[in-house]
Amino acid sequence: DVQLVESGGGLVQPGGSLRLSCAASKFTFNAFWMSWVRQRPGKGLEFVAHIKEDASEKYYVDSVKGRFIISRDNAENSLYLQMDGLRVEDTAVYYCARGGRDTQYQFFEFWGQGAPVTVSS
């Protein structure tokens, strides 16, 4: 079965940086868009960013533009989220999710277990 396993979460001070990773397996990673979705404590789901199969297109929610960078390594079957300039409001569980094959306009069929990120002094 498809597996998505996030890592790299933790506690960081405001203004700090963190890099999340998502290890993918049991599917052809380089054939799918990949996404990050977050969930603030006690709140709903929020799309953060996604990246095309060959990394030639990337999209971000306005609140993270200029601070977060999504990337992928197809040779390693891995997705990343570099988070700089972290703010208290970035505190959330970050989920890695698989998007569509050859299209960004697709639902999220598979999700990871989530990586908790806490931004606090």
Nearer to another protein, 13 or 113 (CB): 113
- Per-residue 3-state assignment (H helix, E strand, C coil) for 11-63: EECCCCCEEEEEEEECCCHHHEEEEEEEECCCCCEEEEEEECCCCCCEEECHH
Taking the complex as a whole, how short is the minimal distance between the CB of residue 72 and another protein, in angstroms? 17
Taking the complex as a whole, how short is the minimal distance between the CB of residue 80 and another protein, in angstroms? 19
41: contact with another protein by CB under 8 A: no
Of 93, 112, 117, the C-alpha closest to 34 is 112
27: contact with another protein by CB under 8 A: no
113: contact with another protein by CB under 8 A: yes
| Contacts with another protein, residue ranges (CB under 8 A) | 35, 37, 44-47, 50, 59, 61, 95, 104-109, 111-114
